[in-house]
Structure 1
Amino acid sequence: MRRHQGLRLRAAKLAAAAAALKRQSGPHLKFGEPPFSLAFLTDAHRAPHPLLVARVLPRESAVILRDYTMRGRAGLAAQLKSVCSARGVKLIVGADMALAKRIGADGVHLPRWFSPAGPLPGAMIVTASAHDAQELKRAKELGADLALLSPAFPTGSHPDSESLGAAALKRLAAASPVPVLALGGVDETNAPMLAGPNVAGLAAIGAFLD
């Protein structure tokens, strides 16, 4: 019970921060309403209980299933789909269009190393990872609805990667051909630093953990 309360509080704080980013984009959000403004990315090592997080996410947020090589990934995807559907949360499957279609996921996520073999399903949400202007352009060319732009700040997932920092992330977002979610070390305390044109919200892993 205490764990659920802690997770629920974390999710609520992050949802408020994501909503503020979206709201402050205001008329500068060039591409209409984004499909969601808050996303939890799975990570078997840092967040080994993704179903617990999914059960406390607010409506209209999203779970992006990564863990590309994990054993039993299809089973986890099906479980996440059941939880997300019951809560009004979108499920985005990373780098596996066949699995996304099979379980009725809401969308697919395209990491930088993944190139789809064929046309993407028109009815699905498409998100893509991006780390610079060129990858933001690629996201547009692939038909992405959102790009996850990272790393905004130093992050536990990639501790040796150089972060963009708030100024560079906002500059990239303002020029991006698709709306962006800020990813990488973002939480409710530093998210306000990222408010600006075309920053539609945030995505996180560790920030969801109590």
Structure 2
Amino acid sequence: MTGRYAKNLPSIWLVTDERVPAATLVESAARLPRGRGGVLFRHHASGMAERRALFDRIAAIARRRRLVLLLAGPARQAAAWGADGWHGRSVGGAARLLLHSMAVHDARELRDAARRGADLVFLSPLFPTRSHPGGRVLGRAKFAALALRAGMPVIALGGVQAKHEHMLRGIGAAGWAAIDGLTAVGGVG
């Protein structure tokens, strides 16, 4: 993990999603705890101009509040847009100083993240989630087993809310991430 983040990795992450209105995402980012929050900016289905405009709005908040901002996509795009890191399976190349995260759902993907040099992983889904209704969940025991083998910080994602924070430490999570759990009124608890 790059020195800049090794000791200060955010414990709370907002994950953007096209289902959530842009204004709500902006408000939610502004509520993240100063210096302890992060944003995983996805918005893959948005047009490039729309995606970049929203990214720039979130980036301005991230700078003011000292939040870590990851861009889902290639490392070069994250570097060009001024993100703190990238999220995905692409290899970093020229972006070695950027933070690199990956999505992980099972042991195979966890090994892949380690091979690709990810600094942290978003392990999901821990619980049932509205974004993937009826999808298979890891549950606490399987999550804990994977987190124990990770060798890097693991961020819990999938149906997670602030009320789960204490339990998450007990199953090996370094923090938590959410869409609905952070975009509802009063979402950062």
TM-score interval, smaller chain: 0.7 to 0.9
Instruction: Measure how far apart 1:117 and its partner are.
Output: 5.6
Residue 179 of structure 2 corresponds to 205
Q: Distance in 2 between matches of 1:118 and 1:145?
A: 12
Instruction: Measure how far apart 1:178 and its partner are.
Output: 1.9
Equivalent in 33, 39, 47 of residue 63 of structure 1: 39
Residue 136 of structure 2 corresponds to 162
Question: Which letter does structure 1 place at the counterpart of 2:137?
Answer: S
Change (3 A) 1:84 1:170: same
For the aligned residue pairs, the C-alpha RMSD in angstroms reads 1.8
Q: Secondary structure at the match of 1:195?
A: helix
Equivalent in 64, 71, 79 of residue 101 of structure 1: 79
* 1:180 matched to 2:154: yes
Structure 1 unaligned segments of length 5 or more: list them: 1-31
Q: Distance in 1 between matches of 2:143 and 2:68?
A: 25
Instruction: Measure how far apart 1:159 and its partner are.
Output: 0.8
1:41 touches 1:63 (CA, 8 Å); kept in 2? yes
Identical-residue share of aligned pairs (%): 33
1:34 touches 1:146 (CA, 8 Å); kept in 2? no
Work out which structure has the larger RCO, using CA pairs closer than 8 Å and 6 or more positions apart in sequence.
Answer: 1
Change (3 A) 1:118 1:187: closer
Instruction: Measure how far apart 1:105 and its partner are.
Output: 0.8
Q: Distance in 1 between matches of 2:163 and 2:31?
A: 20
Structure 2 unaligned segments of length 5 or more: list them: 1-5
Q: Distance in 2 between matches of 1:117 and 1:174?
A: 25
Change (3 A) 1:190 1:35: closer
Equivalent in 109, 114, 117 of residue 143 of structure 1: 117
Runs of 4+ in 1 over 6 A off after TM superposition: none
Q: Distance in 2 between matches of 1:117 and 1:90?
A: 20
* 1:193 matched to 2:171: no
Residue 59 of structure 2 corresponds to 81
Using structure 1 for the length normalisation, give the TM-score: 0.77
1:130 touches 1:148 (CA, 8 Å); kept in 2? yes
Equivalent in 9, 20, 26 of residue 46 of structure 1: 20
- How many residue pairs match? The answer is 175
